[in-house]
């Protein structure tokens, strides 16, 4: 399978920006240089399996999405989507959202 490093790089950059991560902070989290991250995002450099796994984990994106541009079907899509959204929130925001959901669920079931 030939990898399209430019498309992978675009997906990495898009996901990083969606999480409001600067390239510097992202590079720090995944333990790579800022220059190397830039080269990956521009599709100029190849990467190891370990590197793309760290990127995937940091971005909460599947390897299928980053490498091929498609997500595998998820049988628990709503829970997965909610988890993804909550991962972007601060602890305070997550606490508030949890409190709202605890009040909302019983009322919806009435």
Q: Residue 63: CB partners within 8 Å, gap ≥ 6? A: 52, 53, 56
| Full domain range(s) for residue 46 | 5-68
CATH of the domain at 47: 1.10.260.40
Q: Is residue 14 domain-shared with residue 60, that is, in the same domain?
A: yes
Does the pLDDT value for residue 75 go beyond 80?
A: no
Q: Is residue 25 domain-shared with residue 48, that is, in the same domain?
A: yes
Q: Is residue 14 domain-shared with residue 42, that is, in the same domain?
A: yes
- What phi and psi values does residue 88 have, to the nearest 5 degrees? -85, -10
Q: Residue 5: CB partners within 8 Å, gap ≥ 6? A: 40, 43, 44, 45, 46
- The tally of domains found in the chain comes to 2
Does the pLDDT value for residue 66 go beyond 90?
A: yes
Q: Is residue 55 domain-shared with residue 81, that is, in the same domain?
A: no
Give the pLDDT band of residue 35 (cuts 50, 70, 90): very high
Does the pLDDT value for residue 72 go beyond 60?
A: no
Q: Is residue 102 domain-shared with residue 56, that is, in the same domain?
A: no
86 within 8 A of 94, measured Cβ to Cβ: yes
Which has more pLDDT, 50 or 109?
Answer: 50
């Amino acid at each position: 399978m030939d990898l399209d490093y430019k498309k992978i790089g675009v997906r990495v950059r898009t996901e990083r920006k969606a999480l409001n991560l600067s390239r510097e902070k992202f590079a720090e989290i995944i333990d790579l240089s800022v220059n190397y991250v830039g080269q990956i995002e521009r599709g100029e450099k190849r990467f190891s399996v370990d590197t793309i796994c760290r990127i995937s984990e940091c971005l909460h994106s599947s390897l299928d999405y980053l490498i091929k541009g498609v997500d595998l079907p998820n049988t628990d899509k709503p829970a997965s989507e909610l988890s993804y959204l909550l991962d972007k929130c601060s602890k305070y925001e997550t606490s508030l959202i949890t409190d709202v959901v605890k009040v909302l669920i019983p009322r919806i079931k009435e």
